[in-house]
Amino acid sequence: MSHGSQRDVVADLVDIAARTVELARKAGAEVAEALVRDGSELTVKVRLGETELVKEAASRALGLRVFAHGRAAVTYTSDFGAAALASFARSTVELARLAEPDECNLPPAADELAQAPLPDLDLWDERTLAVDAAWAIREATRGEAAARAADARVTNSDGGTFSRTAGASAFATSAGFAGGYRGTYSALSVEPLAEDEGGKKRTGSYWTAARHLAELEDAEQVGLEATRRTLAKLGARKIDTCEAPVVFDPDAARGLLREFFGVTTGAAFYRKSSYLVGQEGQVVASPLLTIVDEPLLPRGPGSRPYDGDGLPSRRNVVVDAGRLTTVLCDLYSARKLGRRSTGSAARGVGGSPGPSASNLVLQPGTATREEIVRGAGRGLYVTELMGFGFNAVTGDFSRGASGFWIEGGELTYPVTEVTISANFADLWRNLDAVGCDVDRRSSLVCPTLRVARMMIAGR
């Protein structure tokens, strides 16, 4: 990616997108949209103090969607030469003329598009561009070394990994929108291994991530926390099958939120692949549950000033105190459902838009993690979900899990090889505690959660 100023890089991509749109119009497109992305990434991995991986890559690609005679086509290219773009535009228009018509696959109206100036969401950190392989290796090494030195029971390691990305995106349409933005993101993870009874190996991990480099946790602290989590798993045992309260730590709760998002999109609704179809406006969860999609959060991992259709990003309350209030729609799914877009489209360079969350935030409560665990009395504290076991149509949910047994309101011993299950509708209705410990490292933002009862299958 170019190391010029943010304004210069974005302006260059906007110009390329706008020129490609004009080429498509000259080739016969009634409407054209161009998306251009330019980015670089660096990943290093250190294992047992030795550099195991250094991967650096850069990419630049352009996607074009054209509409002609009620038909549409999407193509992409990485050849930005003038002659190549002209040929690319002509070929895309020819493909559109061969496509099947779809009355819902139409471009946005001009008055729906985002308008300048776009909001500045502080997604770019100039310091991130200065991160080179040598610096990243030092940070990964510091993190892993701290993890290995923290306790003699740490006998091996799956390594320390540092990654950073920097990229810019621009979008232009023949209806008059042209804009772009740039963002950075860095992450460090450490994964030590410890020997358990019977020769079993236990592994735990911890990670930090942020848009701005200065907001990353110190590498040594990441390593120490990774070791603490690994050692806590030693002596893990099975438990008897029972029904009991289940507490999800923020990492595990994020998996629940991801599944819930999947059944609250316009695509799931028009395909009737969601157990929530027909329940808009109804109570579908505990009054403790409020979920908001927040695309305009400053420095948010999923923040964006406009969506994949070129519409302005906006805040959407998906669930309000247990009531399903909004189904997240791009333009296409909105038209299939006879409604308006919620500004929730995302698209890849080579694909059509589809509904997507930005920063999906499960709103925090007031209870601390300790209070939630204490209130469970006797049950399971889940730190990790494994496998795939969710039926979006019926709501049946069953996942492998590991964590800690709660006895007398306290975490006692580590638990492994259990399966937790419930119908998703019941799971969310039985939500009886929401923590204040919001985890903002990813675009799925969750605190600690407690479900009053779930089936726990053990021995």
- Please report which confidence band the pLDDT of residue 2 belongs to, taking 50, 70 and 90 as the band edges: very low
Question: Is 177 within a domain?
Answer: yes
What is the pLDDT at residue 8?
86
- Please report which confidence band the pLDDT of residue 198 belongs to, taking 50, 70 and 90 as the band edges: confident
Question: Is 162 within a domain?
Answer: yes
Average pLDDT over residues 14-34: 97
> Of 289, 308, 292, which Cα lies nearest the Cα of 300?
292
Same domain, 211 and 261: no
SS3 at position 199: helix
Same domain, 64 and 119: yes
Whether pLDDT at 1 is above 80 = no
Among 199, 230, 261, residue at a domain's last position: 230
Same domain, 131 and 161: yes
**Residue type (1 letter), 231:** L
Same domain, 179 and 286: no
DSSP assignment, residue 317?
E
Whether pLDDT at 317 is above 70 = yes
Average pLDDT over residues 264-269: 98
Question: Is 260 within a domain?
Answer: yes
Same domain, 339 and 450: yes
What is the pLDDT at residue 388?
84
Q: What is the mean pLDDT of the chain?
A: 96
What is the pLDDT at residue 3?
44
pLDDT digits (tens, 9 = 90+) for 115-155: 989 999 999 999 999 999 999 999 999 999 999 999 999 99
Residues 18, 178 contacting (CB under 8 angstroms): yes
Same domain, 321 and 178: no
Question: Is 1 within a domain?
Answer: no
Pairing of strands 242-248, 379-386: parallel
Question: Is 46 within a domain?
Answer: yes
**Residue 64 CB neighbour total at 10 angstroms:** 28
Residues 324, 286 contacting (CB under 8 angstroms): no
- Please report which confidence band the pLDDT of residue 199 belongs to, taking 50, 70 and 90 as the band edges: confident
Q: Which residues contact 367 (CB under 8 A, 6 or more apart)?
A: 375, 433, 434, 435, 436, 448
Q: What is the CATH number of the domain that holds 26?
A: 3.30.2290.10
Same domain, 174 and 253: no
pLDDT digits (tens, 9 = 90+) for 77-91: 999 999 999 999 999
DSSP assignment, residue 436?
S
Same domain, 220 and 332: no
Among 197, 230, 263, residue at a domain's last position: 230
Pairing of strands 345-346, 354-355: antiparallel
User: Which residues span the domain enclosing 285?
Assistant: 236-459
**Residue type (1 letter), 230:** T
> Of 421, 304, 277, which Cα lies nearest the Cα of 360?
304
What is the pLDDT at residue 200?
87
Among 198, 230, 262, residue at a domain's last position: 230
Same domain, 205 and 319: no
Indicate the burial class of 3 (C-beta count within 10 angstroms; 0-12, 13-18, 19 or more). Answer: exposed
Whether pLDDT at 396 is above 80 = yes
| Count: domains in the chain | 2
- Please report which confidence band the pLDDT of residue 7 belongs to, taking 50, 70 and 90 as the band edges: low
d(CA 339, CA 202): 50
Average pLDDT over residues 23-45: 97
Same domain, 178 and 302: no
pLDDT digits (tens, 9 = 90+) for 333-343: 999 999 999 99
Question: Is 394 within a domain?
Answer: yes
Average pLDDT over residues 288-310: 98
Name the token pair of 244.
């009991």
pLDDT digits (tens, 9 = 90+) for 242-252: 999 999 999 99
**Residue 407 CB neighbour total at 10 angstroms:** 13
What percent of the chain is modeled with pLDDT above 70? 98
Whether pLDDT at 368 is above 50 = yes
> Of 334, 332, 338, 299, which Cα lies nearest the Cα of 316?
334
What is the pLDDT at residue 4?
46
Torsion of CA 16, 22, 25, 29, to 10 degrees: 20
Question: Is 305 within a domain?
Answer: yes
